[in-house]
Amino acid sequence: KNQVEQSPQSLIILEGKNCTLQCNYTVSPFSNLRWYKQDTGRGPVSLTIMTFSENTKSNGRYTATLDADTKQSSLHITASQLSDSASYICVVGLSGYSTLTFGKGTMLLVSP
Protein backbone atom coordinates (compact mmCIF):
# COMPACT_ATOMS: atom_id res chain seq x y z
CA LYS A 1 0.00 0.00 0.00
CA ASN A 2 1.32 3.43 -0.96
CA GLN A 3 1.89 5.49 2.17
CA VAL A 4 3.60 8.71 3.22
CA GLU A 5 4.55 9.03 6.87
CA GLN A 6 5.66 12.33 8.39
CA SER A 7 7.38 13.04 11.69
CA PRO A 8 7.12 14.61 14.08
CA GLN A 9 3.37 15.14 14.15
CA SER A 10 3.93 18.56 15.72
CA LEU A 11 6.88 20.69 16.71
CA ILE A 12 7.46 23.89 18.68
CA ILE A 13 10.68 25.86 18.20
CA LEU A 14 11.94 29.29 19.20
CA GLU A 15 12.14 32.03 16.62
CA GLY A 16 15.55 32.07 14.94
CA LYS A 17 16.24 28.38 15.49
CA ASN A 18 16.59 25.74 12.78
CA CYS A 19 14.47 22.60 12.44
CA THR A 20 14.17 19.51 10.28
CA LEU A 21 10.97 17.70 9.32
CA GLN A 22 11.00 14.10 8.12
CA CYS A 23 9.07 12.22 5.45
CA ASN A 24 9.23 8.46 4.76
CA TYR A 25 7.34 6.91 1.90
CA THR A 26 6.53 3.50 0.50
CA VAL A 27 5.14 4.83 -2.79
CA SER A 28 6.20 2.86 -5.83
CA PRO A 29 6.99 3.42 -8.64
CA PHE A 30 8.30 6.78 -7.47
CA SER A 31 8.09 9.85 -9.71
CA ASN A 32 8.58 12.94 -7.59
CA LEU A 33 8.32 14.33 -4.08
CA ARG A 34 6.89 17.70 -3.15
CA TRP A 35 6.77 19.72 0.03
CA TYR A 36 3.86 22.09 0.61
CA LYS A 37 3.28 24.71 3.32
CA GLN A 38 -0.30 25.16 4.54
CA ASP A 39 -1.24 28.07 6.77
CA THR A 40 -4.23 27.45 9.02
CA GLY A 41 -7.50 27.76 7.10
CA ARG A 42 -5.79 28.23 3.73
CA GLY A 43 -4.78 26.14 0.75
CA PRO A 44 -1.32 24.52 0.55
CA VAL A 45 1.46 26.37 -1.26
CA SER A 46 4.25 24.51 -3.06
CA LEU A 47 7.76 24.89 -1.60
CA THR A 48 9.84 22.39 -3.55
CA ILE A 49 9.54 19.51 -5.98
CA MET A 50 12.24 16.86 -6.55
CA THR A 51 12.49 14.05 -9.04
CA PHE A 52 14.33 10.75 -8.63
CA SER A 53 17.67 12.20 -9.80
CA GLU A 54 17.66 15.21 -7.48
CA ASN A 55 18.85 14.91 -3.89
CA THR A 56 18.51 18.51 -2.73
CA LYS A 57 16.43 21.56 -3.61
CA SER A 58 16.34 24.95 -1.92
CA ASN A 59 13.74 27.70 -1.77
CA GLY A 60 15.02 30.56 0.35
CA ARG A 61 15.32 29.36 3.95
CA TYR A 62 13.75 26.01 3.04
CA THR A 63 15.98 23.14 1.88
CA ALA A 64 14.57 19.75 0.94
CA THR A 65 16.62 16.59 0.59
CA LEU A 66 15.72 13.29 -1.00
CA ASP A 67 17.26 9.85 -0.60
CA ALA A 68 15.44 7.67 -3.14
CA ASP A 69 17.32 4.56 -2.01
CA THR A 70 16.03 4.73 1.55
CA LYS A 71 12.79 6.45 0.48
CA GLN A 72 13.28 9.33 2.85
CA SER A 73 13.04 13.09 2.51
CA SER A 74 13.62 15.95 4.90
CA LEU A 75 12.71 19.62 4.94
CA HIS A 76 15.17 21.87 6.77
CA ILE A 77 14.08 25.34 7.82
CA THR A 78 16.85 27.78 8.65
CA ALA A 79 16.56 30.78 10.99
CA SER A 80 12.86 30.24 11.61
CA GLN A 81 10.41 33.12 11.60
CA LEU A 82 6.99 33.49 13.18
CA SER A 83 5.47 33.29 9.70
CA ASP A 84 6.87 29.77 9.32
CA SER A 85 4.18 28.56 11.72
CA ALA A 86 2.09 26.26 9.54
CA SER A 87 1.51 22.65 8.55
CA TYR A 88 4.13 21.17 6.21
CA ILE A 89 2.87 18.44 3.93
CA CYS A 90 4.96 15.85 2.07
CA VAL A 91 3.41 14.63 -1.20
CA VAL A 92 4.68 11.79 -3.39
CA GLY A 93 3.75 11.23 -7.05
CA LEU A 94 3.69 7.85 -8.81
CA SER A 95 5.51 7.32 -12.06
CA GLY A 96 3.17 6.64 -14.95
CA TYR A 97 0.12 7.53 -12.92
CA SER A 98 -1.62 10.74 -12.11
CA THR A 99 -2.20 9.95 -8.43
CA LEU A 100 -0.57 11.82 -5.56
CA THR A 101 -0.20 10.41 -2.05
CA PHE A 102 -0.35 12.99 0.73
CA GLY A 103 1.18 12.77 4.18
CA LYS A 104 -0.79 13.98 7.19
CA GLY A 105 1.57 16.89 7.71
CA THR A 106 3.78 18.22 10.50
CA MET A 107 2.35 21.15 12.44
CA LEU A 108 5.13 23.64 13.20
CA LEU A 109 4.74 26.43 15.74
CA VAL A 110 7.45 29.07 15.92
CA SER A 111 7.37 30.79 19.29
CA PRO A 112 8.73 34.29 19.95
Partner 1 sequence: DGGITQSPKYLFRKEGQNVTLSCEQNLNHDAMYWYRQDPGQGLRLIYYSQIVNDFQKGDIAEGYSVSREKKESFPLTVTSAQKNPTAFYLCASSIDRQETQYFGPGTRLLVL
Query: Interface residues with partner 1 (CB under 8 A)?
Result: 4, 31, 34, 36, 41-46, 49, 89, 93, 98-105
CB 72, min distance to partner 1, A: 18
Nearer to partner 1, 68 or 107 (CB): 107
27-55 burial string, b = 16+ CB within 10 Å, else e? Answer: beebbbbbbbbeeeeeebeebbbbeeeee
- How far is 29 from 99, CA to CA, in rounded Å? 11
CB 87, min distance to partner 1, A: 10
Nearer to partner 1, 22 or 31 (CB): 31
Nearer to partner 1, 75 or 80 (CB): 75
CB 108, min distance to partner 1, A: 16
- How far is 72 from 92, CA to CA, in rounded Å? 11
